[in-house]
Amino acid sequence: MSETQRNSSQRLRRRLGALAVGVVAAAVMLELGCWLVTATGLISARVPSYSLAAGSAGFWGDLDPGFGPWHPPRTRYLHQKACFRVVYESNSYGARDRERSRDSDTRRVLVLGDSFMEGFGVAAEDRLSDVLEAETGVPHLNFGSSGNTGPTHAFALYTHLASGFRHDAVLASILPENDFDDDVPKPDRYQPYWEGRYPDLELRYSLPSVEDSKYRCDTSAAEVSFGRALREFTYSKNVLDFAYSAFKQWRYARRLEVRAEGPSSRFFRFSQEEFGRLRHSYEQLAAAAAPRPVVLFTIPRHADFAACGPDGRNPLDAALAEWAAGVDNIWFVPLLPALQARFEGALGDQFLPCDAHWGPAGHAAAAAVLRDAVGSVIYGR
């Protein structure tokens, strides 16, 4: 090799070395930046577990042919963010709950809803259903689940699974912020939805089979993907996942054809078509549950309190109250005014500090409101 070639080779190696150092330095800076924005609560991204075992199995996915999103049975999942570290466990039929028998001689309540009712970010004993069970001595069978689960999902889950467990009352949450949107079929997801216009609605499924969904979770897979390894060992992957998810939600919201005027809060911004789908889901659920009482309640989030003002009045709660009064076995409780009064100038105290879901204080307050408002209905006392 000539001197010129050797010099050229050395320069190339130096440049490649400098490039490698630069890439590593950039990756380190990115990781530090992602750690900072997560640790300080600026964004609500997942925290890495530093364990492949923790993320070896998903806890949510489109799994059931009758109602879609659910948990795989007998699964443990470690969920971490900046302000919580919680292990979720599902029972033999996939609920995040203790094992329950299908038959029972004692009074029991079924609980339906999405991530709030599932107890996202809190220990099982701190969530609303368990607080009510501890205070009343009445078992509350929790069928809540995160993941694109709105009123249609609640009805389908009740008829295909929950109704098979003997019960005396149903307690179901409504989360206006995303329940209207969750009832609209999404690309590549398997979910039940109503087709048509109220009252002429028929239950359909967004894909021919639940197996066609791209949102499956396979707990039997032994291999660990590169993406999963990054998620369990880096902040960067979790922050990028959070940003991408936020972008998809924003893009989907931009495509909505709702033209209602008023604040961005969904307590104000909903169409009659959306309200028709919601009421139809619970009318069908109430008919299936009759003569048992069905108690519905709306869950407000941060922006909803600001939109409603000091009196807590809003069009959605008013419409739900008027509608529920005309259905024999439906009771409706608006949580917003009661929670506003309980937390007064510290409304944020009901939520987790790094996430928009209730913390233990929010669950306890909601349980107290419901017990005071409809305790005699639910518990027959």
Instruction: Let me know the angle formed at the C-alpha of 183 by 178 and 186, rounded to the nearest 5 degrees.
Output: 95
Q: Domain containing 292 — which CATH number?
A: 3.40.50.1110
Nearest Cα residue to 329 out of 296, 292, 297: 292
Distance CA 52, CA 224 (A): 8
Distance CA 176, CA 259 (A): 16
DSSP sequence for 354-370: TSSSB-HHHHHHHHHHH
Task: Note whether residue 83 is domain-resident.
Answer: no
Task: Note whether residue 169 is domain-resident.
Answer: yes
Helix (H) or strand (E) holding 77: strand 76-81
Task: Note whether residue 70 is domain-resident.
Answer: no
Nearest Cα residue to 374 out of 170, 116, 174, 179: 170
Instruction: Let me know the angle formed at the C-alpha of 46 by 40 and 52, rounded to the nearest 5 degrees.
Output: 130
Task: Note whether residue 330 is domain-resident.
Answer: yes
What is this structure's pTM? 0.81
Task: Note whether residue 68 is domain-resident.
Answer: no
Give the helix ranges, DSSP H, for 40-150. 115-118, 128-136
Q: Tokens representing 338?
A: 């009661």
Distance CA 110, CA 140 (A): 6
Number of domains composing the chain: 1
Residue 9's CB is within 10 A of a number of other CB atoms, namely 11
pLDDT tens-digit profile, the chain (381 residues): 576 767 677 777 788 778 888 888 887 888 788 778 777 777 767 777 666 655 445 789 999 999 999 999 999 888 888 788 899 999 999 999 999 999 999 999 999 999 999 999 999 999 999 999 999 999 999 999 998 999 999 999 999 999 999 999 999 999 999 999 999 999 899 999 999 999 999 999 999 999 999 998 765 544 456 666 777 788 787 778 777 656 655 554 444 333 334 468 999 999 999 999 999 999 999 999 999 999 999 999 988 998 988 888 999 999 999 999 999 999 999 999 999 999 988 999 999 988 889 999 999 999 999 999 999 999 986
Phi, psi of 178 (to 5 degrees): -135, -5
Domain hosting residue 337, numbered range: 105-224+260-379
Q: Tokens representing 308?
A: 């409603």
Beta bridge partners of 243: none
Distance CA 367, CA 60 (A): 25
